[in-house]
Structure 1
Amino acid sequence: MEFCPKDGSILIPKKEGDKTYLVCPVCGYKKEVTSLVIKEEVKKKEELGKGIAEKETIYSKAKGVKCPKCSSEEVVYFTLQTRASDEAETIFYKCLKCGYTWREYE
């Protein structure tokens, strides 16, 4: 991955005839390349839901909340801004007994 020396944008590969260039989509800076490796990573559907929220989340004990699946009151929660910043956060709950996870929009 290379960045534009003028404005710091990511340079996008573009083919013109038999030559390949890295082009800045903002200012038009162009650099010819002789070798280019393009790597594309496709995530499995199950991995798409596992993001930064799962890795760095601090759970808090939920009081007065029952799991809709097993009725346990051993429930923790965390909040995440999933919509526009002027809208309320989404509350995610997780049952410690059965592992069921659900969300609530305010």
Structure 2
Amino acid sequence: MFCPECKTMMISSGGQLKCRKCGYIRKIEAADQMKTQKMRTENEITIVDDEDDKIKTMPTIQIKCPKCENNLAIWWLRQLRAADESEVRFFRCTECNHTWRQYD
């Protein structure tokens, strides 16, 4: 609940809502009660496995695969080391699915 006078968030104390900034006070009413959100259980969550579709939408680059010598691969970046170090570039061949990495 926010203070109607200064628009600061009010705190509850002793059955009242108090504004820390301007000192406005009023009693807590039934409409002011906190609303709780129902937690989802694992049975309610549906996991969609779209790995094949994800590969189709990832960026590609012309680079030679070290395993089959195909000239097309998908690529992505991951931060594997400290934040102040460069990212690691991963490649996956579109033909043989061989994955390799390249450090900068």
TM-score by length of 1: 0.43
Which one has the bigger helix percentage? 2
TM-score calculated relative to the size of structure 2: 0.44
